[in-house]
Structure 1
């Protein structure tokens, strides 16, 4: 059954495999081609889109920064502002009052005229100055301007702009940390003498700057930030990061030491994609995002391709199973019929349901089995006839031999004028023939075989004028066992002719019968002359002895009988001691334990 199933499964698997290949190969080819093409297009578009966003953001931030630069230039070049800065503390109070109102109005106009300018300060190092909006003169007096880093840097640069990171305004009187600003400062010079006469600080609107980078969407977790030329973060949506150096060394190297607009780096073992663009003030806007986030659409496409391929594969398997069942069902039925024939059932026939090649094969199989069945019957009939012919030949061979020996005895008695004894022999022969004639078939019981031996011994005793004692040791129940006719008689005859008579004395013959499970053992023992060692070796190999013609009719009859009736289920052995006698042992499988005979 398992062998049949394996054959069927292999055939079914081949059909399913073919269908899978037909469906999956084009699907995979199309899917992979589409995947590779879309991967290239999506990556290119994602990179170009990210670079474009970075450029637009850089332009927006540069515009805001340029507003601060322009405002600083306007203020620094205003002669009235220069004069007011020089006269502060050196002119009468009414002039200072007029200058104060004028400067405050001017500074507020700059703020109101541009939405990106949050606060403008005009300061003196000694702690005096002007400011737009809620400028607090008191807070200015609380700090020492000359100690401020940005003041030192502005003086060092001597008129060039000094940019500071995003921070809260420290001079506003509206409260603490209320105005988020991006300061740009410079020293104010007297154009006539080019000496420093004050400081100008333009505070750009920090919320507008942060809003510009916050509104950008770079994946789910990506972000933009601004760094200076040294890699310090100047603008970031997280205030805690301001004025700190970029921590990731790989990213820092890509920002500071690489001029490429786009780059890749690793952070915490995760691959990142980055872009950067230069701003108008020399700073750089940097955008970073995990590579997986910009390739998200590609991953969804890949998932869709895999799912569709799996769906097509399942469809192919389903179709394959259906077709395989439709195609292999007749093959299975034919295979089952073949296995039944293999097990010996020649009555089975294949069911012919179709007219295709498989149907034709089933039809021819039925014809073949029918022909084999006829040939088997013919062979069985021939073997049966041959078997019975051999049995008849065996019986016909032993019966004439038996009669010849008996008639020879009669002739000898008549020639020797022993008519009375000849009459007794003839009477015993008559009784023996009557017993045999009343039995039909080639098999008799053990009891009947022993009766034939008794009658035959009477004839031999009359011929040789000797007493042949017959000792029987028969296990109860074995006397009804069926055995072939004339199985033991030739052994008794050989014991007398070749063992006891040459001694010219009376003799004893012992027959012992025992049953072991399904086997029956016969021991026929005499006290005759025995058999020589060389002859004994020949007799213990009956098959070879028969082929070489080295045994007489009696043992040949026993060998043929055992071979024909018991096939390989028998054993015959002979033991002998010269001068003491011979023992023949026959072990055979019981044919039948019923007394009825064919």
Structure 2
């Protein structure tokens, strides 16, 4: 027994440790690669936004013309100051914006909320050569003031990176000015801090030359990455990947910067990834030693103290199996055998209680069926009562009241009987007309309804209660009660010769965009379900939505037409809401409705 327990356990521990470490590395690589990919996308979006902010100089004609005038021109100077302020406020992390006009040696600096101007200033010495490349990023460096005196001095260790753009007279390459945008390193840290654990991991953002633009280790920011792994990353050709070196795992992901290709690198110690596996291995060894002691003692104890009571318990189980459900399962033992006796006794009590409960459930079900039969009397009673009231109104020459009551009675009969059977489009439209008749009395002349129904579609079978709930939604959500120009339109026709298309449209209130997008996404999810999944979905939603919700309408359409149906909701450009349904009735297979 000892050998049978120890040898498989040791082999299992070794295999488990090897497989666990390998699996943990693979999972960690996959998760971190996805995390770096998302981080690179976010950084690319921020860099594109920063690049767009520098392109404001080309989208502002007045600013472009002001470059040909001296700062002494108040209008030109004001236009330049306003543009610099706009650029500085376009991205939260921009510290200052510098503009230099070489032809007149004029400088402008927007910093600390004010614009400084000067004439006769030479171009700042650290400005890169923009002759062959109109856009460049300068690696992180201590922030400077471009020769201006500011009201508040910057901290010497405060670092920024700078975007330089040459302002050229398009389409020529004549340089009109140089724009420099100093960006705080929080531009990187805001996203990068979410990509690694500073206590255990390290993160680097490098350009194509191996210069570190950002890192959790501030001492290497602005310098070249000299570590051995950096050369391997730069030699990878700008793709994504990972490798293991010096007991560390390195993952890298390219970043498409406006002026070149950058790379984000994450360094993870292997010991940090495998610390849980090592801890699990140690725990397994301790458990194995403890198990050996227990196995030796249990082997002796089981053979002497356990076998006989277990045989007695097996005998009691045999009696239950033969049908004796009242066996006496009592034991005074305090050990596991006693627990088995008590659990078996509890199980017998539970079985007996379940038998009694099942009997009560059957009785309750019979009572509920009786109540359901009694409840069916109520709709018939209401229908007969309405007919009686209508007859009385007609006897007193109140034709309008009789007309309204008759419409209401027809609606009740339509909704009460054969709800699962299809009806013709003409029958459904007659039900809509009865509903509109009642609403006209309520809202008088506040709305109009327009029908454009092709005669060839009137006898086609459609699911019952398909159009009226869509019209009802207009009175619930879309109608303007202060207007008398509310219009509802119902159209039917053919699409591609074989697809019945029904449109319900109004000019009322449109659905808010967030709610519309959420509804469209949910409709897409339903369209992707197969028939069996749709049946489950319908059973789970019809009760809560009363069978008239938009989601339920799509479900009913796809079930009725066995998936050959499309459903589209959108806002009308001039105001209002539109629902378009397309059903396959024969001929060529229809395609899903374009969602625009």
TM interval, shorter chain, is: 0.3 to 0.5
With a CA cutoff of 8 Å and minimum separation of 6, indicate the structure with the bigger relative contact order. Answer: 1
Give TM-score, length-normalised by structure 2: 0.45
Whichever structure has more helix as a proportion of its residues is 1
TM-score by length of 1: 0.44
Larger of the two Rg values belongs to structure: 1
